[in-house]
Amino acid sequence: MKPFDYLRASAPDDATRADATIIAGGTNLLDLMKLQVMSPDRLVDITRLDLDHIEDHEGGLRIGALVTNSDLAADDRIRRDYPVLSRALLAGASGQLRNKATTGGNLLQRTRCPYFTDTAQPCNKREPGSGCAAIGGQTRLHAILGASEHCIATHPSDMAVAMQALGAEIEIQETTGATRRVSIREFYRLPGDTPHIETVLAPGELITAVILPAPPKGRQVYRKVRDRASYAFALVSVAAIVDVQDGRIAAATLAFGGLAHKPWHDPAVDRALEGAEPTPELFDAAADVLLADAVGQGSNDFKIVLARRTMKAVLAEATGLKEAA
């Protein structure tokens, strides 16, 4: 690890005005600092800020940025009203890591692309303009949607996929002290030719909270497919919120992990399902919409098939088709 100055924030302004890299749980940042993938000169520790509450808010919930992944997953309101989020959190990392990992840090965790963490390899995300070692390399964890010739990495978070399906908003404190809210649907960026810029956050900005809308109607499902039964990142994951009324899908929101540079949400997939009777044929047609532009890189071609199958299985569960069969 390279040397750095350590500062402790006692108010949000200390963090936004410090000209320093924020550290919360540290489970991603310290890992990358040890590998010298990230080498900040200054760290500002935000863990003493009063951002660790989950409060009722506008019919939904306001989750402070420092609420740990464990506390969020175990919260009674989340378990009852937002089970997709609880399930996504519990499918990620380990008990120890979830106790330290925070809501804000989880949203901003970096990709698990093995070339990103290997400083001997070219990587546009780590070192803009150096190239992308993943293209033509081992791409088991890489994207099939929304990738560019500059970067094919995926976003590794499970939590963010559930929040994407829920249409959460991210509350940000700007360096001027003002606050703005950004929908998670507009928060993440595709790699394009600037894969090192991953979100709409400007340098110094602090995530203060995530706001969940009122609990959605219908069933919520999160399914994660991975190389081990526990403690592994997603190859493909699907978060679904589906409301069936009188034998038809009244509303559906699907989000996907492991497929792209951001937790993926395609409104056209939701529209393909809405108003129709749930059948395997309908699910296939919606998967066609999702995967119309999917491109494999070789060793991740299987994800195109896996995404379809996982999506269909989740839809069968969420619409009750599985019980009927």
Binding residues (CB under 6 A) for ligand FAD: these are 21-29, 31, 46, 65, 69, 92-93, 97, 100-102, 104-106, 108-109, 156-159, 206-207, 233
Spell out a b/e string for 256-294, using b for 16 or more CB atoms within 10 Å of the CB, else e.
Answer: bbbbbbbbbbbeebbebbbeeebeeebbeebbeebbeeb
Cβ at position 24, least distance to ligand SF4 in Å:
22
Q: Which of residues 10-69 bind another protein (CB under 8 A)?
A: 23, 25-27, 30-31, 34, 43, 45, 47
Report how far residue 64's alpha carbon sits from residue 71's, in angstroms, rounded to the nearest whole number.
Answer: 11
Cβ nearer to ligand FAD, comparing 191 with 218? 191
Residue 74 engages another protein in binding (rule: CB under 8 A): yes
In the list ligand FAD, another protein, ligand SF4, none, the entry touching 152 (Cβ below 5 to 8 angstroms by class) is: ligand SF4
Binding string to ligand SF4 for residues 142 to 171, with x set by CB under 6 A, is what? ---------xxx------------------
- Of 188-227, which residues contact ligand SF4 (CB under 6 A)? 195
282: left (phi over 0), alpha (psi -120 to 50) or beta: alpha
In angstroms, give the least distance from the CB of 196 to ligand SF4: 9
Contact map string, positions 95 to 124, toward another protein, x by CB under 8 A:
xxx-xx------------------------
Neighbouring residues of 35: CB distance < 8 A, sequence distance ≥ 6: 117, 119
List the beta strands (DSSP E) in the chain.
5-8, 21-23, 42-45, 54-57, 60-64, 169-173, 179-183, 206-212, 219-226, 234-245, 248-257
Place of tokens 């499970």: 158
Residue 10, beta-bridge partner list = none
278 scored as a contact of ligand SF4 (CB under 6 A): no
Residue 87 interacting partner from another protein, ligand SF4, ligand FAD, none (CB closer than 5 to 8 Å by kind): another protein
